[in-house]
């Protein structure tokens, strides 16, 4: 005989992280009109980043099909002249903008949004684009042996690399900072001397 499992799962009306810290039926906004004005501005800027990134990626793909054709407008010409770095930059910009947009709607829904994050949201996608493109330079130069130096001859490889590194740029920067501390030590600002890992005082 089959057991009735319809009552096994109950919907909790207690505030929790899963329901955005709200009891059931609580739909009113937590934010003032002034706060919503800034939230909308942040969203519009991130959408502008995404729109620009999509235009850059699409232009890069189209130009890669006709590499000998010289574009007749400045935007396309810059992308054509900087292949594959232009498309990689815009793909990384898209990755960073999507990451920032995801955190924007999560923080708003879960009552974790605050005004002081505005600088991070505006700068993070640019940082993502610059970081991914710089990492691509390092790989093509053979300095960073994670991929083959000729990997970016295919524009789609450049686009994927840019988006992947751009989307996870916070993690990449954290990893690079840990590596820098391991190699170079940390700066002791109180005495303006460098404390190196091999010079640490034993405990």
Closest C-alpha among 38, 41, 79 to residue 58: 79
99 domain residue, yes or no:
yes
H/E stretch holding 88 reads: helix 85-109
Is omega for the bond preceding 91 within 30 degrees of 0, making it cis? no
Residue 175: band (very low, low, confident or very high) from pLDDT cuts 50, 70, 90: confident
**Which residues, other chains included, contact 102 with Cβ-Cβ below 8 Å and sequence gap of 6+?**
none
93 domain residue, yes or no:
yes
- Could you tell me which residues are beta bridge partners of residue 187? 194
The parent domain of residue 99 ranges over 33-167
144 domain residue, yes or no:
yes
What is the pTM assigned to this prediction?
Answer: 0.78
Residue 105 has pLDDT above 70, yes or no: yes
Q: What pLDDT score was predicted for residue 199? A: 46
Q: Are 87 and 158 in contact (CB under 8 A)?
A: yes
197 domain residue, yes or no:
no
15 domain residue, yes or no:
no
Does residue 151 or residue 73 have the better pLDDT?
73
203 domain residue, yes or no:
no
What are the b/e assignments for 88-109, b being 16+ CB within 10 Å? Answer: bbbbbbbbbbbbbbebbeeebe
Residue 129 has pLDDT above 50, yes or no: yes
Query: How many structural domains comprise the chain?
Result: 1
26 domain residue, yes or no:
no
192 domain residue, yes or no:
no
Burial of 34: CB neighbours in 10 Å, binned 0-12, 13-18, 19+ = exposed
Q: What pLDDT score was predicted for residue 35? A: 94
């Amino acid at each position: 005989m089959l057991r009735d499992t319809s009552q096994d799962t109950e919907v909790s009306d207690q505030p929790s992280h899963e329901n955005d810290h709200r009891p059931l039926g609580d739909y009113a906004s937590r934010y003032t009109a002034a706060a919503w004005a800034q939230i909308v501005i942040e969203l519009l800027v991130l959408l502008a980043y995404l729109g620009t990134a999509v235009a850059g990626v699409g232009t890069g793909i189209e130009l890669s099909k006709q590499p000998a054709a010289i574009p007749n407008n400045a935007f396309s010409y810059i992308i054509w002249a900087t292949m594959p770095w232009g498309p990689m930059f815009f793909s990384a910009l898209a990755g960073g903008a999507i990451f920032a947009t995801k955190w924007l709607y999560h923080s708003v829904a879960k009552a974790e949004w605050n005004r002081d994050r505005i600088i991070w949201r505006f700068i993070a996608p640019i940082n993502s684009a610059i970081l991914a493109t710089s990492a691509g330079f390092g790989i093509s130069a053979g300095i960073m042996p994670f991929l083959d130096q000729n990997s970016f001859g295919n524009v789609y490889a450049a686009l994927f690399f840019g988006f992947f590194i751009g989307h996870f740029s916070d993690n990449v920067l954290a990893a690079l900072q840990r590596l820098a501390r391991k190699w170079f030590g940390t700066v002791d600002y109180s005495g303006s001397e460098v404390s190196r890992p091999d010079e640490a005082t034993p405990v």
